[in-house]
Amino acid sequence: MNILVIGGGGREHCLVWKISKSPLAGKVYAIPGNAGIAEVAECINIDISKNNFGELVKLVKNKKIDLTIVGPEAPLVDGIVDYFNKEGCKIFGPDKKAAAIEGSKVFAKEFLQRNNIPTPKGVVFGKASYGSVRDYINKRDKFPVVIKADGLAAGKGVVIAKDKNQAIEAVEDCFIRNKFGVSGSRIIIEDFLDGYEASILCLCDGKKIIPMTPAQDYKRIFDNDRGKNTGGMGSYSPVPLIDNQMYKRILDEIIFPTYNAMIKENIIYRGVLYAGIMICNGKPYLLEYNSRFGDPETQVILPRLEDDLLPLLLECTVGNLSKEELKWDRSKCVCVVAASEGYPEKSSSGDVIEGLDCYKNSKDIIIFHAGTKVKNGSIVTNGGRVLGVVSKAKSFKEAREKIYSAMQKIRFRGIQYRKDIALKAERSD
């Protein structure tokens, strides 16, 4: 089978890496890819941000690609699956109607409330109600509070406001300063839940849903969850705090009821459904759904998957998942993200990355590229999150030791990375 992976981040590098191991995989392509993906797939430089679905379909037909796999959320929300389906091209991911579960937080919140899925209480406000939202915040006596932009915002549209001033500033970012454009034209003001988070990704074929092993990611830029929100600065799997009993509760109270409600409301969801879960006072709540593989959760989930991923993705696409559950190895897997200088506010690029050759054929370290490119024969940074450094081991302690030893050898100007990824999990070893 010839495969196309759309996207150019760490998640897509991990997908290409896993798919290329399949005996079913023939030629693998990526659009636009990155310097790391280029080592295992042919990268084609097409700007996917322009929604040029016709150009992509033309390429798929010319290259005789059997399956296209979509990494980022924006093309899904914009209807790439609908377009491919009309053209008779197989593509993995939810259609536009189903992808609204991520594309609109208002849609998702109303869906969850309508179907009695446990989720924090939230109130929706539109841009025209700016005065009302200020009054609502000023009258509110319980903080922190969570402000969410309705649409896609690259993982940066959620603010945890510690007081009224921060809450109003977050609202003004959406309604006055237009920081998120049309994505911020509606917001949700949501109760803050204090607890611990986990991500559960599920494979879906429209009728059946198979949950994957839990992972946990780190959203804040600095250690001890300080600083700005990012797309994710690290992750690990499994999650020691999610024991079998809690995992079953999450599935029975959130995941399965959600999927049953989708079927009831004629939402045919095929692809990956990603649940962001908060455990608060021993009870699971759904914070958000995403319509694609998580980043950097994918980088710690797929290395532990013993099953061949490619046939699973194909079966989801055609609505015929054959397995009832997946096989996982017992190792602990950790990913530490190295980001460029200035991230997440601004990002530098063009800085030469040193130390990658040390781990080219390493059994202990896998490096998934994100924001990288080749310039004058060297691999350089290309802004944002640059690398995901991954290790598997028998314990979190051993995996962390391997990664942070590697981080001493991987260098580029202004490199940023957290030192506390999986530290709490290590204490459970």
Average pLDDT on 385-389 reads 98
How much is the pLDDT for 130? Answer: 87
What does the pLDDT look like over 360-383, one tens digit per residue? 989 999 999 999 999 999 999 999
How much is the pLDDT for 128? Answer: 85
How much is the pLDDT for 361? Answer: 87
Of the pLDDT bands very low, low, confident and very high (cuts 50, 70, 90), residue 100 is: very high
What does the pLDDT look like over 128-163, one tens digit per residue? 888 899 999 999 999 999 999 999 987 778 999 999
How much is the pLDDT for 259? Answer: 97
How much is the pLDDT for 217? Answer: 96
Phi, psi (degrees; rounded to nearest 5) at 386: -100, -50
The per-residue pLDDT of the chain, averaged, comes to 96
Contact assessment for residue 119 and residue 297, using Cβ atoms and an 8 Å cutoff: no
Higher pLDDT, 246 or 48: 246
CATH architecture group of domain 121-191: 2-Layer Sandwich (3.30)
| Residue from 375, 371, 364 nearest 399 by CA | 364
Average pLDDT on 101-123 reads 96
Task: Characterize the bridge pairing of strands 28-32 and 3-7.
Answer: parallel
Of the pLDDT bands very low, low, confident and very high (cuts 50, 70, 90), residue 249 is: very high
Asked if residue 35 has pLDDT above 90, the reply is yes
Average pLDDT on 304-321 reads 98
Higher pLDDT, 38 or 229: 38
How far apart CA 63 and CA 59 sit, in angstroms, is 6
How much is the pLDDT for 59? Answer: 96
How far apart CA 422 and CA 350 sit, in angstroms, is 30
Domains 196-318 and 332-426 share a fold: no
How far apart CA 414 and CA 280 sit, in angstroms, is 37
How much is the pLDDT for 346? Answer: 87
How much is the pLDDT for 166? Answer: 95
What does the pLDDT look like over 180-218, one tens digit per residue? 999 999 999 999 999 999 999 999 999 999 999 999 999
pLDDT-wise least confident of 51-55, 62-66, 143-147, 254-258: 51-55
Of the pLDDT bands very low, low, confident and very high (cuts 50, 70, 90), residue 51 is: confident
311 contact partners, CB below 8 Å, separation of at least 6 = 22, 24
33 contact partners, CB below 8 Å, separation of at least 6 = 5, 8, 12, 16, 41, 43, 44
How much is the pLDDT for 156? Answer: 78
pLDDT-wise least confident of 148-162, 228-242, 246-260: 148-162
User: What percent of the chain shows pLDDT beyond 90?
Assistant: 93
How much is the pLDDT for 48? Answer: 87
CATH architecture group of domain 332-426: Alpha-Beta Complex (3.90)
Distance, CA of 271 to chain centre: 13
Please give the CATH topology (third level) of the domain spanning 3-87: Rossmann fold (3.40.50)
Q: How many CB atoms lie within 10 A of CB 73?
A: 23
How much is the pLDDT for 47? Answer: 87
pTM score: 0.95
How much is the pLDDT for 153? Answer: 86
Q: Where are the domains of the chain?
A: 3-87, 121-191, 196-318, 332-426
Of the pLDDT bands very low, low, confident and very high (cuts 50, 70, 90), residue 50 is: confident
Please give the CATH topology (third level) of the domain spanning 196-318: D-amino Acid Aminotransferase; Chain A, domain 1 (3.30.470)
Kind and range of the H or E run holding 201 = strand 196-205
